[in-house]
Amino acid sequence: MNPIIDGIVKAFQLIFSGDPTVYSIVYRSLFFSGTAAILAALWGTPIAMLLGLKDFRGKSIIKGIFNALIGMPTVALGLILFLIFSKAGPLGFLGLLYTPGAVILGEAVLVTPLVVSIATTAIEAVDPEVINLAKTLGASESQASIAVLKEAVNGVIFSNMASFNRAIAELGVALLVGGNIAGLTDVLTTDISKYTQRGDLALAIALSMILIAIVFGINLIIIIARNPKVLATLGRSPQ
């Protein structure tokens, strides 16, 4: 049989047989990327609010830097973080290198520019008078900022979706700071790379299919949760 078709068949067998190796890799990927996306949202959203709501000198330069960092090659960032986390590096004393913490932190750093840029654009798109509206209705400065954030909620959710997608699909950072240690820091992308190089196409294909299914599935769930009417339009033919 063709090795690719053979690989696909075996991949389905691995997925549906409940193979513990496959599922532990999936769990780690979801956990690392999910935590990284949450961390990026926690520190990226306040930065976006500052950039979107306040006027200060150097604001456009900071926005430009975040925009430019979106395209940062993951391997390059992985190498920079490797040097920072390594024993001789400035954060070497933390002993983070080749630990799950290093992968989570690295991925969070990687996706932060994405969160900041998309959320800033969404906040800037909100009518600037909304902050005055909230204030005249009795909101404090912080409550008024939250009112603006609520108006930009679609953009902010989109920024979180995009950051999760980038985190789960990246290879460079996880490989360089995680070391792809089986059962500890290996994730879907690093294992796809490893098993492809080893010639274990079935496992590589299975993991790839799962990775794609996760990305599509999670995005679809969020879209439907935001607007349940999407489901009703699926079966409708175009007018």
Residue window 107-136: x/- pattern of binding to other proteins, with contact defined by CB under 8 A: --------------------x-xx-xxxxx
Q: CB 228 → other proteins: shortest distance, Å? A: 14
The secondary element (H helix, E strand) that includes residue 58 is none
Span near other proteins by CB under 8 A; candidates 89-97, 140-148, 156-164, 222-230: 140-148
Task: Give 150 or 198: the residue with its C-beta nearer to other proteins.
Answer: 150
Say whether residue 69 binds other proteins (CB under 8 A). Answer: no
Shortest distance (Å) from residue 126 CB to other proteins:
9
Verify binding: residue 59, other proteins, rule CB under 8 A. no
Between CA 76 and CA 80, with CA 78 as vertex, the angle to 5 degrees is 70
Q: Is the sign of the CA dihedral 91, 95, 98, 100 positive or negative? A: negative
Alpha helices in the chain, H assignment, sequence order? 3-16, 20-53, 59-69, 74-85, 100-125, 129-136, 141-151, 153-169, 172-178, 188-198, 201-226, 229-234
CA distance 87 to 141: 44
Q: Does position 151 bind other proteins by CB under 8 A?
A: yes
198: contact with other proteins by CB under 8 A: no
Does 139 bind other proteins (CB under 8 A)? Our answer is yes
Kindly state whether residue 227 participates in binding other proteins, applying the rule CB under 8 A.
Answer: no
Give the whole-angstrom CA distance, residue 143 versus residue 220: 31
Torsion from C-alpha of 149, 152, 158, 162, nearest 10 degrees: -60
Told to check if 209 binds other proteins by CB under 8 A, we report: no
Q: Which is nearer to other proteins, 26 or 131 (CB)?
A: 131
> What are the residues binding other proteins (CB under 8 A)?
127, 129-130, 132-141, 143, 147, 150-151
